Structure 1
């Protein structure tokens, strides 16, 4: 990080992306190792889920039991659905593990460089398992929040469609609900990102980390949500391209297998870079939010805190105090 805390306060939308790319290229060796170890498997699991899930979906549709001969309606067997959801659970578990491990590795690496600590691949991999449990608690809490939020949002859409049907008023109201839902989803996503960084770098996790992330977001909400929106749009774009040109390339465009494989590799490389950028930007956004709230980042305290992960001797503060990245600075006169 080549900016002072005062300069970080004024970093905007493009500044965060610029700082993130500069951080990646300045640490390309360690990030390449982290990518090959954690982010590449995350990408492979993501694409494998799309392919296998599509296969199982059609398997369920074709291996159905005839329910009503008159209406010719079919439904899958219980066994088919059991295998399908078992696969979903396994996929979600593996995806979560690699995502949390990648978050821990990237955040620790950037924080170590920020404090001037020597950062090597072996040390990062030694730290990752120690942070994983704390990150998992934070993940479970934010996942439950998103779960109930999706139930409320989905319920509102269903009620709207049931009452107003496909009328003009119903379509307009449904569009408004969808926009509000997306706004709330982006908000929770940014809270999740900041809470993840807080979990790694501060002495808080779970609901406390979520509250801290929510507080840090104040004053930078539009910035954080704008970054999350762009990254999610790129993610959706990669998925759509993969579906069109790889998954259904032979049916829609009559592409030969070699072209579909090449396009699949290209999509995979783009997704790997996107995931890495996602983890780096959330750390940079955290530093910007800290500077915005004038919470001085004590590099010595942070270095000491990071040292605890690697087994170094740590001098803890007095009872009742927490190790934090910094305390609020006094306002300039």
Structure 2
């Protein structure tokens, strides 16, 4: 990453996407390994969930509530055994999707931080740090899930999803997790709220569109469009590849957005401190990350009097 502090500060909607793609294509080798090792399983789990839900649990999902008398008999035919298998499947799915999301997030954030701090990084280094940070990320994710339930009733999901993205990156690069990570993410978003929400909207719109395509052309392609199995498989493979890219780009953009927000708030992205933190994860430096006096973060505010204005 050859962006200066001022360059990062001024990056907007298109600039963040441009920088994200540049990072990926400039470091194709390590991102390819991360994608095949962590993001490919994430993609396959996501697609498998859709297929299995459609073919094995369609009756359970369609008959979750008997809205009228015509569906009552069908609803009653859903047995306790069906519901047991359904919820067991859901628990297994959410467990695996969460685990691989945590691993992928930690790996990509660590990689981008290493690139920014001009450290030589290998795929083995990335894999080594994942077990050291996944617990902190899990705590952050659990708090985010709880906040989703509460916040959805009041306003909506889009704003909170951006805070989640920034909180996830802060968990990896700063000595914060759980509620503190959420608070940090919210603080960083001040002044970049519109940009962050636009990026989140575009990314989630792509995901929703992709899901619709899979449902229409792969799951129900034979009924709606009379597509043969070959066409449905080809479209499914193509959608899987797009989803693979989407997962990778999603985490990269949230990390770049984090750095942009840090620069906007004049929190110096100190490459020396960042390199020290990465060395801690790799066991090169002994630092007690839990001690406030010795915490290593990705820069602190250069001027406490600076107050970011909402744009």
Q: Same fold (TM over 0.5)?
A: yes
Q: Secondary structure at the match of 1:23?
A: helix
Q: Give the aligned partner of residue 98 of structure 2.
A: 96
Q: Give the TM-score normalised by the residue count of structure 2.
A: 0.91
Q: Secondary structure at the match of 2:57?
A: helix
Q: Give the aligned partner of residue 35 of structure 1.
A: 35
Q: Kindly tell me: are residues 316 and 134 of structure 1, through their superposed partners in 2, closer, same or farther at Cα, counting changes over 3 Å?
A: closer
Pairwise CA distance, 1:61: 7.8
Distance 1:61 1:131 in 2: 36
Q: Report if the CA contact (8 A) 1:316-1:323 is conserved.
A: no
Distance 1:22 1:228 in 2: 19
Q: Kindly tell me: are residues 72 and 125 of structure 1, through their superposed partners in 2, closer, same or farther at Cα, counting changes over 3 Å?
A: closer
Pairwise CA distance, 1:324: 1.4
Q: Give the aligned partner of residue 176 of structure 1.
A: none
Q: Secondary structure at the match of 2:74?
A: strand
Partner deviation per Cα, 1:105-141 (whole Å, 9 max, x = no partner): 0000000011111110011001111110110000000
> Which 5+ residue runs of structure 2 have no aligned equivalent?
307-311
Distance 2:62 2:189 in 1: 48
2:206 corresponds to 1:234: yes
Q: Give the TM-score normalised by the residue count of structure 1.
A: 0.85
2:141 corresponds to 1:139: yes
- Higher Cα Rg: structure 1 or 2? 1
Pairwise CA distance, 1:148: 2.6
Distance 2:69 2:40 in 1: 48
Q: Give the aligned partner of residue 259 of structure 1.
A: 231
Pick aligned residue for 1:324 from 278, 284, 297: 297
Q: Report if the CA contact (8 A) 2:287-2:294 is conserved.
A: no
> Which 5+ residue runs of structure 1 have no aligned equivalent?
154-180
Q: Secondary structure at the match of 2:120?
A: coil
2:276 corresponds to 1:304: yes
- 1:276-291 alignment to 2 at 5 Å? 276-291=248-263
Q: Report if the CA contact (8 A) 2:276-2:296 is conserved.
A: no
Pairwise CA distance, 1:298: 1.2
Q: Secondary structure at the match of 1:203?
A: coil
Q: Give the aligned partner of residue 198 of structure 1.
A: 170
Partner deviation per Cα, 1:231-286 (whole Å, 9 max, x = no partner): 00000011101111110111111111111100000000000001100000000000
2:83 corresponds to 1:111: no
Q: Kindly tell me: are residues 79 and 123 of structure 1, through their superposed partners in 2, closer, same or farther at Cα, counting changes over 3 Å?
A: same
